[in-house]
Amino acid sequence: MLRDLTPALDLLDLAIASSDGLASEADRKTAAVLAAAARRRQNYFSGAVIVAIAGGTGSGKSSLLNALAGREVASVSALRPHTDEPLAWIPAGDDAISAMVAALGVNAVVEYDDGNGLAIIDLPDLDSVEHDHRSLVEVTLPLVDAVIWMFDPVKYHDPSIHDEFLAVVTEYEPVFIFVLNKIDLLDEAGSDAVEAHLSDVLKMDGFHDPEVLAVAVAPPDGEPIGIEMLMASLERTLVDKRADRVKLVADILRAGRRLAGDANVWIGTPDDAHDQIRDAAGEADRLSHVLDRLEIGGPLRAEIVSSDDDAGAIDKELRRRAELAAVVAALGVVCAEISHHDRRQQL
């Protein structure tokens, strides 16, 4: 499991608030834009790799969920359609993913304590007309790290799935994994032919380089085929997510430190700063010298100079400066901890 990023973003928000009047407005704005953009990427917050499984009825979506989970999570049946509600299998205690599945309106949620860091959403089939499954797919896509599209050898070219669902979301190709299931029902030549044809159909949908993984997730007799390939593909998703997050965490920390840098809080504020400033108040040259020595510049300096001999105002400014220093120091610790932990994760 990757670390939750919420504490880092909360601290950055706090640093932005604490630096009002201390740091440059341009840097505060840059930090705020970064924080808001990061919060919109909700999948970043979850420690899990979030995978949705989509496809036609009977293609084997629920069977795949069970295979990846290594246990019977979803009910599987030869009766079609079977899963009529989305089902989520998620790590317990990951608040971000719980909130996300709730926002998606997923009511059937199974939590696990001992899994592999995957969060899987088994979407209902895409061919039922009575449900508005298309809107569910559309809201899900931006929130997940990967989508596995399941096909079976009989209905893999079903135009309703290609035209209505796939052709309109080709911009998500980087996070799509196309899977041809039930290859145990085909001989090798048949499997190669269907794989190649499915790849052509996907190109006609508008995908550039659709790779198809051929698997049998739950053959009635014999062992599953190709699950390791699928896991390897999800592992690459984790590697990408980790790399994105490493950059984001570095950006968050840099944005926070810049605010602290603007206010020169790194050098710390000596305990007698208040006395030094008050002693010099009213004497412009001396005050200026004291502020230089304390490395107090920018808006804070202007504030103190214009506050004249107002002890309350000076205290307030010094306290705010100390707060900003503390928040950014905490941000440094949290970011280091997240990066350290994330670098070591694998599925």
Ligand X SMILES: Nc1nc2c(ncn2[C@@H]2O[C@H](COP(=O)(O)OP(=O)(O)OP(=O)(O)O)[C@@H](O)[C@H]2O)c(=O)[nH]1
Residue ranges that bind ligand X, judged by CB under 6 A: 55, 57-63, 76-78, 80-83, 124-125, 181-182, 184-185, 216-220
- Nearest residue (CB) to ligand X, 188 versus 209: 188
> Which one of Mg ion, ligand X, none is in contact with 115 (Cβ closer than 5 to 8 A by kind)?
none
Q: How far is the CB of 84 from ligand X (least distance, A)?
A: 8
Q: How far is the CB of 97 from ligand X (least distance, A)?
A: 21
| Binding string, residues 27-66; x marks residues near Mg ion by CB under 5 A | ----------------------------------xx----
- Nearest residue (CB) to Mg ion, 50 versus 150: 150
Pairing of strands 118-122, 87-91: antiparallel
Establish how many alpha carbons lie within 13 A of residue 234's alpha carbon, considering only the half-sphere containing its beta carbon.
25
> Which one of ligand X, Mg ion, none is in contact with 262 (Cβ closer than 5 to 8 A by kind)?
none
46, 66, 83, 264: residue in contact with Mg ion (rule CB under 5 A): 83
Q: How far is the CB of 157 from ligand X (least distance, A)?
A: 17
- Nearest residue (CB) to Mg ion, 85 versus 138: 85
Q: Provide DSSP, 250-300.
A: HHHHHHHHHHHHHTTGGG---TTHHHHHHHHTT-HHHHHHHHHHTT--HHH
Ranges within 93-132 binding Mg ion (CB under 5 A) = none
User: Which listed range, 4-12, 76-84, 212-220, 267-275, lies at the site for Mg ion (CB under 5 A)?
Assistant: 76-84
Q: How far is the CB of 129 from ligand X (least distance, A)?
A: 14
What tokens were used for 226? 């190709």
Q: How far is the CB of 61 from Mg ion (least distance, A)?
A: 5
SS3 75: coil
- Nearest residue (CB) to ligand X, 43 versus 181: 181
Residue with tokens 């559309």: 138
- Nearest residue (CB) to ligand X, 32 versus 185: 185
Three state DSSP letters for 104-165: CCCCEEEEECCCCCEEEEECCCCCCCCCCHHHHHHHHHHHCCEEEEEECCCCCCCHHHHHHH
User: Which listed range, 83-91, 135-143, 173-181, 309-317, lies at the site for Mg ion (CB under 5 A)?
Assistant: 83-91
Q: What span, in angstroms and rounded, lies between the C-alpha atoms of 244 and 278?
A: 48
Q: How far is the CB of 48 from Mg ion (least distance, A)?
A: 21
Own/partner long-range contacts of 9-16 (Cβ < 8 Å, ≥24 apart): 9/35, 9/38, 9/39, 9/252, 11/256, 11/327, 11/328, 11/330, 11/331, 11/334, 12/252, 12/255, 12/256, 12/331, 14/327, 15/256, 15/259, 15/260, 15/324, 15/327, 15/328, 15/331, 16/259
> What residue number has its CB nearest to Mg ion?
83
What radius of gyration do the chain's Cα atoms show? 27
> Which one of Mg ion, ligand X, none is in contact with 43 (Cβ closer than 5 to 8 A by kind)?
none
Contacts of 106 (CB under 8 A, 6+ apart): 85, 86, 87, 88, 121
Q: What span, in angstroms and rounded, lies between the C-alpha atoms of 46 and 336?
A: 18
Q: How far is the CB of 219 from ligand X (least distance, A)?
A: 4
Q: How far is the CB of 36 from ligand X (least distance, A)?
A: 37
- Nearest residue (CB) to Mg ion, 121 versus 287: 121
Q: Is 264 in the site for Mg ion (CB under 5 A)?
A: no
> Which one of Mg ion, ligand X, none is in contact with 216 (Cβ closer than 5 to 8 A by kind)?
ligand X
- Positive or negative: CA dihedral 330, 331, 335, 341: positive
- Nearest residue (CB) to ligand X, 159 versus 220: 220
Interface contacts to Mg ion, rule CB under 5 A: 61-62, 82-83
